[in-house]
Amino acid sequence: MSTAMRTATQTLLVELFVEELPPKALSKLGEAFANGLLHSLQSQGLTSSDTQLRSYASPRRLAAQITGVPAQAPARQLQQKLMPVSVALDAQGQATPALLKKLQALGLDSTVLPQLRRAQDGKAETLFHDHTQPGISLRDGLQQALQESIVKLPIPKVMSYQLEQGCELPGWSSVSFVRPAHGLIALHGSDIVEIEALGLQAGRTTQGHRFEARQATIDIAHADDYAQRLREDGAVIASFAERRDEITRQLQAAAQAIGGGVKVIEDAALLDEVTALVERPTVMVCQFDQVFLNVPQECLILTMKANQKYFPLLDAQGKLSHHFLLVSNINPADRSAVIGGNERVVRPRLADARFFFDQDRKKTLESRVAGLDKVVYHNKLGTQAARMQRVCSIAAAIAGSIDATPDATPDATPNATLVAQVTQAARLAKTDLLTDMVGEFPELQGIMGGYYARHDGLPEAVAVAIEDHYKPRFAGDALPRNRVALVVALADKLETLVGMFGIGNLPSGDKDPFALRRHALGVDRMLVESDLPLQILPLIDRGIEAFAPGLLSLPAEKIRDELSQFLLDRLRGYFRDQGYAVQNIEAALAAGTLQHWADIPHRLAALKVFAGLAEAPALAAANKRIGNILKKAELAASGSHQHIDTRLLQETAEQQLHAAMQTALPQADAQFAAGDYTAALQTLAALRAPVDSFFNDVMVNADDVAVRNNRLALLHVLHQSMNRVADLSRLAA
């Protein structure tokens, strides 16, 4: 093969044609297949500087199109380190048995001895064998890349199947893959790359749409023609992203055509799933009987999305419309049969939802409480009834520690009322698990409880708390909407965390079956983003106290330590996601005055401003130095050494620092007490010059004990004030 042929690049196309792939996994499978091929080819030198990747994934195919691929990788110049010259050659300069054995192991013989190169390697002179390694051919490289890519696919569940008799390739009789594979394309430009996989020999033939393709089989003449040939001859939009965009465009156009300000409910997961179900989408408008709109819209929306993969529409007021959109995989001239069929299919689904709703309202939530005793929560932690009692206990304790504060209404909620409402909400929060609607649609737990609570005539604050007590359900979800709901949600998550930590049931790696990380982040967010004046360790203690003696297998102290650290780790991640610097987060968390996590964002905002001041680096470094001095002197935590005797301030620099402190510290302390942390740090920034002068001109460890202790006291007072907002030493480089 000539150099020109080796260096010329072409587009490479690889397609696996299979039976219908699992829709929820299709997007990841497509990306993994294409990226796996690209990375393997790159590692073998079978790509170029201008190589680009395009992945394709449709219900019946995974494909990758890679530009700039040579027919053979370029040769590589390699040097093989052999051994030190002192070992390789004897006194006469002849090869030793050790060198000959090494060469033999490398597939070489004594004929290469004159070509060996001497070079210094560290302190020893060493022998090297320089040689040129030919580049791998595309056929061999792609065979390896395809095998590696298939092995690494994130397949949800592997199928094993037998190949058809007479169709087996040598070495193949059965295959394990996500779905049975029926075709393999491997084209380099217009040339077939002779590889095999999954019992298939590569060619250039694929299939289009099951019903609407122009021809049963499609020959791909050139790798660059793939997407166009499939679209024109096969009625298939091969690109997952293009198909998704086309569905989105058609959905929006259909909603606009209906008019009245209706809009499609945004649901990325549903959009991805539907994209994975169709090869050439056609959106059609359907409707259902408006009588079903009397059922809670969450029920109707869920059954349409989960069971039928329809796209519900909301009107301008955010209420469910009786119109909905379906995405069909065919585009008939007369759409009425498709539309009518889907309208007939959805009716019994909606009728079931209405039946469940009507039946559930025949029993009150209170009447279902006894049934919780028959529902197992965890084999080590008892029933849902036992869990409910613990949540009630934790919620009542939290509510009892909170002063009267405004609730969802403008009126103040008295403390006794708050305790009563959170107890009632916690008692009833899990009862909707026993309803027919939640039994059919578990995703509606809490939501249906809110509807049934209102039907039972319970206070709105209680109904909202029942509805919201699972919040936040996921990252970015809204917090519970009122004070009662916040308390119940906090109690519910704390009970789960304490219980699971108490029996040693902790997350491991990417496994977290009880969603403890999500619960912990929810606790963190509620403590940070709400104004609940609660401290984390007492909260954990309330949770531990709610469990019957002996139910938790681990000691209370161990639970408290491990759970508090777990919550802190999630808190750090939460603030990192908010864009705060790691050192600022650590500085704020280390502040000795920090009691409530809701205060942390204010401190972080102040630190961000402080970090921009010219004085900040010097003050942070000085603060760290002061801390080290006090720690060494064992005065850092002592309040008995705070008295400063001005008569013992001998040096001008320490007198000036004391004078500056007399002005700045009271002002900074007042600003701190008022919650103006930014101003407090800015006031302290004025101490940079006298602090620098103090350390330049004053020896802290004076020979005179009284003078030394007085200087330590001066630094101790300064250190306390400087670290009220945050531990500034954490900002030092």
Domain ranges of the chain: 3-73+137-234, 77-133, 240-360, 366-579, 597-731
> DSSP alpha helices (H): ranges in 578-674?
582-589, 600-611, 616-633, 652-673
**pLDDT cut 70: percent of the chain above it:** 95
In sequence order, the β-bridge partners of residue 58 are 61
Q: What is the DSSP string of 144-180?
A: HHHHHHHHTS--SS-EEEEPPTT-PPTT-SEEEESS-
Q: Over 416-458, what HEC string results?
A: HHHHHHHHHHHHHCCHHHHCHHHHHCHHHCCHHHHHHHHHCCC
Cis peptide before 114 (omega within 30 of 0): no
Pairing status of strand 405-406 against strand 382-383: unpaired
pLDDT digits (tens, 9 = 90+) for 144-174: 999 999 999 999 888 888 776 655 566 677 7
Q: Rounded distance, CA 659 to CA 196, Å?
A: 85
State which H helix or E strand residue 82 sits in: strand 76-84
469 sits in the region (left: phi over 0; alpha: psi -120 to 50; else beta) called alpha
Tokens of 14: 């690889």
In contact, 311 and 324? CB cutoff 8 Å: yes
Task: Specify the pLDDT at position 285.
Answer: 97
User: How far out from the chain centre does Cα 298 lie?
Assistant: 26
> Identity (one letter) of the amino acid at 605?
A
Q: Rounded distance, CA 386 to CA 392, Å?
A: 10
Which residue ranges of the chain lie beneath pLDDT 50?
A: 1-6, 404-413, 635-640
Q: Rounded distance, CA 286 to CA 299, Å?
A: 18
Q: Which among 80, 84, 127 has a CA at the least distance from the CA of 106? A: 80
Residue 216 to residues 168, 207, 411, 556, Cα–Cα distance (Å): 23, 6, 72, 69
Task: Specify the pLDDT at position 403.
Answer: 55
Q: Rounded distance, CA 303 to CA 355, Å?
A: 13
Task: Specify the pLDDT at position 633.
Answer: 78
Tokens of 542: 């309330």
Task: Specify the pLDDT at position 163.
Answer: 77
> DSSP alpha helices (H): ranges in 285-414?
297-308, 336-360, 384-400
Q: Which among 142, 16, 150, 148 has a CA at the least distance from the CA of 71? A: 142
The distance between the two most distant Cα atoms of the chain, rounded to a whole number of Å, is 106
The CATH code of the domain at 597-731 is: 1.10.730.10
Tokens of 392: 């009630």
Task: Specify the pLDDT at position 733.
Answer: 66
- 3-state SS class at 221: coil
Q: Rounded distance, CA 300 to CA 282, Å?
A: 23
